Structure 1
Amino acid sequence: MFQKFLNLPRFYKRMISVVADVVALSFSLWAAYALRLDKALWLTGTEQLLVCGLTVAFTIIVFVRLGLYRAVVRYLNDRAFITVSIGVIGSVGILILLGYWLEVLVPRSVPIIYGALAFIFVSGSRMGVRMLVARPSAKDRKNRERVIIVGAGETALQLCQALQQGARFRPMAFIGFQSSNHETLINGLPVYDISFIEKAIRSHRAERLLLALDADSTVDRKRLMRQLEPLSVPVQTVPSMGELVAGQKRINDIRDLEIEDLLGRDPVRPDNAQVAETLTGRAVMVTGAGGSIGSELCRQIIRHRPGLLVLFDQSEFSLYSIERELQSINEAEALGVEIQPLLGSVTHRRRCEVVMRSFGVQTVYHAAAYKHVPLVEHNVIEGVQNNVFGTWYAAEAAIAAGVERFVLVSTDKAVRPTNVMGASKRLAELVLQALAQRQQETVFSMVRFGNVLGSSGSVVPLFREQIREGGPVTVTHPDIIRYFMTIPEASQLVLQAGSMGQGGEVFVLDMGEPVRIVDLARKMIHLMGLDEKTEDDPEGDIEIVFSGLRPGEKLYEELLIGDDPQGTNHPRIMMAREISLPWPEVEDILNCLAGASRGFDCEAVVNLLKDAHTGYNPTTDMADLVWCNGTQGAMASDSWDKVTRLN
């Protein structure tokens, strides 16, 4: 019967609501007089009937004008009850005025009693219907997954209400972080202190934990991750506040823990005022705009409202994707930024210069690079061309076009490199340092940071995929360690350095203690509600397998070449004090490297990188796929002879 009512056309539902309100208002009027006069039959004439009838009629009109009958009952919120309150107050006023104009007896307490009863019946009927509609059937409750929400703030409450409206999850309890809130109730559900989380899981037979912390929460995230990791249920989280505000996600879009959740620490925050000075209203260009770092740079830059944002990338699909996303942000937030997507390679110097001149670019963030260590080891010439010559050509184009600032996105692998990728990035740093000494018009600076987890090639998406497929999870070495940084953190540092640079500086981030990759893998296994399969626990779910170090890979990374970093006005950003080379010496290296590259002589390229004061010390033999498959012929020999003569 009730389901038939729910399936009625909208018009009939509204008519039923009107009839119900007429009955409720009429009964409230009768009850108010009956209670005041202490007798059931108080109607003594047609005047009283007229007053009551007109009051009910005018009240229904007021409700219609307030939009009460347009509200969908199952989605009623506090605003609907405010509307009812306003309508009832209006109805009370109508009753008083009609009694005065028609000279009909309306005792002073009757309007008060009538208003209270009318609000109770009108709002109560809607609340009752909403509860009946929202209440799932016994079958639905049985099929919904039991979850506990970790958090007891506004975000947790919003998540609970959203899940109760859905059909997938059934919230059972909240986990709070203040002992004084233990055993209290929120939205009808019990609140447990974090120290009682295991008891809560057992009592409610919870199958999943949902992390819903407020953005301004002071909870120690690292400690919280340690508390959640040993539990036998998977842990997931809700979208970030930024995604909710931008309209990209809804509060009930449950997702796996992101990198910042796994790290369990607060991200680095930039000085937005200082960054805005170098971005707001200016013409900014990002090379490699479609990559993982470049795209995040673009997302953060556009919110500083530059006058123009030039997206430069050689990948058509990546450029299309980031341009489409930025246009959506631009329109949704009414930023008014002009966005220009341009195809091109940083190895084409003339193309870079024409683009910078045509759009009057003032600041360049150079994120275009090949950064995957094994792939660059297998493609030595292309890696050097893109990372070294791409940086050189883009920098020379910036000088020629009168660009004010040029910021290079570098890597910790440039410190005492053991692979071609790191050596090429260190040489790119030396190129910019030399150019900074050669001229004063363009300010060059570099930003060096550790592994960017969540970027293309990151271990975290790989681990997650391997865990979902049942394992094994592959880790190269049990002792391999890395510094951790999220893409937003890295991008914020790049923007900060772009505003701080005075010429030739290498900025690095105080990233805290490095973490073993195998520990990260174990944490992900546990937080997904699974157990590691080991010799001691052969019945575990996921096994970790060590595959061995890849070509050019080392056990640990460093951020500084020297041991005497200089502080900056940002508490977690340092400036490295490292050797630099004069431009004539760097130019000779680049000319020799160009000759070896043109001849596809990988051995010559590697030898030049070793001799170029980069600190390059390869730990494995040549791994270039083309070179190892027959390029020991005349072309390579001739090329090396030419390089030797140039030296």
Structure 2
Amino acid sequence: MKNIFEIPRNAKIAIVVIIDAALHFISTWLAYTLRWEKIHIPSTNLEYLVFFVPVVFLLFIFSYFKLYKSLFRYLDLNASIGILKALAIYFIFYAIFIFTLNANYSFFTPNPLFPGMPRIIVIIYPLFLFLFIIGSRFLISYIFFLFKNYKSKDINLKKVLIYGAGNFGARYLGILRNTFRYEIRGFLDDDKKLNQKFLNGVKIFDLKNIDQLINDLQIDEVFLAINNIGRKKKIDIKNKFQSLNVKLRFVPDLDDLLQEDTSIIPTSQPDILDLLKRRQINPNQNLIKKNIFDKVVFVSGAGGSIGSELCNQIIKQIPKKLIILDHSEFSIHQINEKLNIFIKKNNLKTNLIPVLGNLLDKNLIKKIFNEYKVDTIYHAAAYKHVSLVEENPVSSVKNNVIGTLNLTKEAKINNVKTFVLISSDKAINPTNIMGASKRLCEMIVQAFSIKNINGINKEQNFCSVRFGNVLNSSGSVVPIFSKQISSGGPVTVRHKNVSRYFMTIPEASELVIQAGALSSGGEIFILDMGKAIKIYELATHMIELSGLTVKNATNPYGDIEILITKLKDGEKLEEELPNKLIMQKTLHERINKTSEEFIDEKNIETIINNLISLFDQNDKIGLINLFKKYIKGYKPEPYKK
């Protein structure tokens, strides 16, 4: 019996679809048999149509009303009304179908003695089908109930309270009762008028003596089931129950909840800020405005995670013009629409200029700089996913390096005041091609900054900014883990000891803008990302913040398993930071800078010419050897253990 309930959800849906189709055939056959008062076997084309055509529409209508996505084990009044609506629409179609066939029965049945379809079928068939469909749903629900009792004999049910005795809490009560894991000991509610009353047979308590109540009822967990609760209120409740040594789970909106398979308990997504476990620092507004207000600003890669957030921050500082470039039509359209809405809503005079293109297009870049006198550049365009770049090294390096070279040259020629390259902590002693390409991009920016450093042209400041992984950016572990958790796991981690530095997208973007304002030319700024976070611990923390538990040897009845796979080629066990001895403080407490070996423009041109010949030959080995020669600390051998 246990194995039946562990089959995949799609298989469960397929079984119910087959049952519904079978119930249609049985209902049709019974309607005929009852009408003719004998066992009836279909024998005409007309009867075959009546048997086989309506079932297609029945299943389509049920799918349209999402009856196969709702929880089969949880049947309440709302779910029953949904079934009734779908059946009502279907029966209208069925009646029209039968009467249409009757009007043209001679076309389907050449035998003139055949009297057509009995009209009473339109009444008998729906009655049978209605009873069978509703009955089957209640039977499924009842089977789950029996299974609950069966399974509860093998495990200890957790004793829980539901915080929130409103409609949301009442609906969630039904969900919890059908998960086979919990004994609901009561409701909690802030409304003292509800104290000692009952909701669906469960007693309601106020919070007056919550510590004593939890002790008396031996509560293991509390589910927070309140809609539209504010962040501050949520944190206060969370801290309260933590002090009581009780786990608090957060419940998602019911619209999402009722579409999920509750073989696990669906709970809300963790707050991104909770994952960092460190304080956020408000930006220095003077630094934020310095290179943006009333200036012409250019952002490359404007449709990406960092690029789009840079645009969101920049537009708030009211630039004269904002030029946004991306090679993705969809991405540039999305950010352009969002920025235009902000401009209109706030009556800004900023001229927004979207450009669909690639930095490898020299003529396009020249056109942009000839047409607009750009003051500030934030260069975020790059291929950044380590494994993809490792598998496509030539096209990736060409995009990252040549794109940076083209943009830097035009910026230099057109006297752009500030150029900020978005780099990566993977550029430090890189073990992968993405990191090596980023380090080479830094070297290009440094080379074009040498004249500024020597005092020849102090009006141009070119710099690079390094930081680690960005929480919730496209392709990062957070959205991947969130998806894996919401689907019931497992969560995949490539090594139990792998660690990374993390920032939020807004935090990284604000610091990038401020770092650019601190530049005097040639610096490599390093953002303070706090302590490195172990990915295994991040996965565990995300599972717990979602209100679930990790399934492992010590907790075999947990919700989500963490599966250890292996590191991919080019991935480090942990990212590096420059030696503290060569790190220098800046005016901003979260922004440091470091010195790296410089290469002048002439040597950069030599490296680039060698690269271009390797691009033409699609020579990956030659590319790696070139990086070994010119990129200090580059070790392409993958970590293996």
The two structures have a TM-score, normalised by structure 2, of 0.62
Structure-1 separation of matches of 2:210 and 2:293: 44
- Whichever residue aligns with residue 172 of structure 1, its letter is D
Please point out which of 454, 460, 466 is paired with 1:442: 460
Shift of 1:525: 1.1
Within-5 A mapping of 1:299-448: 299-438=312-451, 440=457, 441-448=459-466
Structure 2 residue matching 1:474: 3-state secondary structure: strand
Structure-1 separation of matches of 2:244 and 2:410: 52
- Whichever residue aligns with residue 538 of structure 1, its letter is P
1:532 partnered with 2:559: no
Identity across aligned pairs (percent)? Answer: 40
Structure-2 separation of matches of 1:573 and 1:518: 28
Structure-2 separation of matches of 1:435 and 1:603: 28
- Whichever residue aligns with residue 384 of structure 1, its letter is V
Structure-2 separation of matches of 1:596 and 1:580: 23
- Whichever residue aligns with residue 556 of structure 1, its letter is E
Shift of 1:460: 0.7
2:170 is aligned to 143
1:245-291 superposed Cα distances (whole Å, 9 cap, x missing partner): xxxxxxxxx96223212223222332111221211111101000000
- Whichever residue aligns with residue 614 of structure 1, its letter is K
Distance of aligned partners of 1:611 and 1:422 in 2 relative to their CA distance in 1, 3 Å threshold = same
Within-5 A mapping of 1:197-276: 202=219, 206-208=223-225, 212-214=230-232, 231=247, 233-234=249-250, 256-276=269-289
Kept in 1, the 8 Å contact 2:221–2:248? The answer is no
1:42-91 superposed Cα distances (whole Å, 9 cap, x missing partner): xxxxxxxxxxxxxxxxxxxxxxxxxxxxxxxxxxxxxxxxxxxxxxxxxx
Shift of 1:582: 2.2
1:159 is aligned to none
Shift of 1:225: 11
Structure 2 residue matching 1:398: 3-state secondary structure: helix
Kept in 2, the 8 Å contact 1:427–1:614? The answer is no
Distance of aligned partners of 1:602 and 1:410 in 2 relative to their CA distance in 1, 3 Å threshold = same
1:549 partnered with 2:576: no
Distance of aligned partners of 1:382 and 1:576 in 2 relative to their CA distance in 1, 3 Å threshold = same
Structure-2 separation of matches of 1:229 and 1:330: 48
Aligned alpha-carbon RMSD (Å): 3.4
Structure 2 residue matching 1:563: 3-state secondary structure: helix
Distance of aligned partners of 1:458 and 1:382 in 2 relative to their CA distance in 1, 3 Å threshold = same
Structure 1, unmatched stretches of 5+, are: 1-137, 147-169, 175-188, 238-253, 622-647
Structure-1 separation of matches of 2:280 and 2:251: 21
2:69 is aligned to none
Structure-2 separation of matches of 1:532 and 1:391: 44
Kept in 1, the 8 Å contact 2:168–2:226? The answer is no
Structure 2 residue matching 1:485: 3-state secondary structure: strand
1:588 partnered with 2:606: yes
In terms of Rg, which structure is larger? 1
Distance of aligned partners of 1:194 and 1:394 in 2 relative to their CA distance in 1, 3 Å threshold = farther
Kept in 1, the 8 Å contact 2:251–2:268? The answer is no
Shift of 1:509: 1.6
Shift of 1:577: 2.1
2:7 is aligned to none
Structure 1 residue matching 2:567: 3-state secondary structure: coil
Structure-1 separation of matches of 2:451 and 2:212: 64
Distance of aligned partners of 1:443 and 1:141 in 2 relative to their CA distance in 1, 3 Å threshold = closer
2:189 is aligned to 172
- Whichever residue aligns with residue 233 of structure 1, its letter is R
Distance of aligned partners of 1:556 and 1:233 in 2 relative to their CA distance in 1, 3 Å threshold = same
Structure 1 residue matching 2:513: 3-state secondary structure: helix
Structure-2 separation of matches of 1:274 and 1:470: 45
2:480 is aligned to 462
Kept in 2, the 8 Å contact 1:353–1:400? The answer is no
Structure 1 residue matching 2:582: 3-state secondary structure: coil
1:164-202 superposed Cα distances (whole Å, 9 cap, x missing partner): xxxxxx98249xxxxxxxxxxxxxx96679989967995
Structure 1 residue matching 2:249: 3-state secondary structure: coil
Shift of 1:336: 2.8
1:537-582 superposed Cα distances (whole Å, 9 cap, x missing partner): 2222111111100110011112326632111001111011222222
Structure-2 separation of matches of 1:348 and 1:604: 25
Structure-2 separation of matches of 1:225 and 1:203: 11
2:311 is aligned to 298
Distance of aligned partners of 1:193 and 1:143 in 2 relative to their CA distance in 1, 3 Å threshold = closer
Shift of 1:209: 7.4
Query: How many residue pairs are counted as aligned between the two chains?
Result: 431
1:565 partnered with 2:583: yes
Structure-1 separation of matches of 2:224 and 2:287: 46
- Whichever residue aligns with residue 231 of structure 1, its letter is K
1:577 partnered with 2:595: yes
Distance of aligned partners of 1:332 and 1:585 in 2 relative to their CA distance in 1, 3 Å threshold = same
- Whichever residue aligns with residue 485 of structure 1, its letter is M
Distance of aligned partners of 1:142 and 1:604 in 2 relative to their CA distance in 1, 3 Å threshold = closer
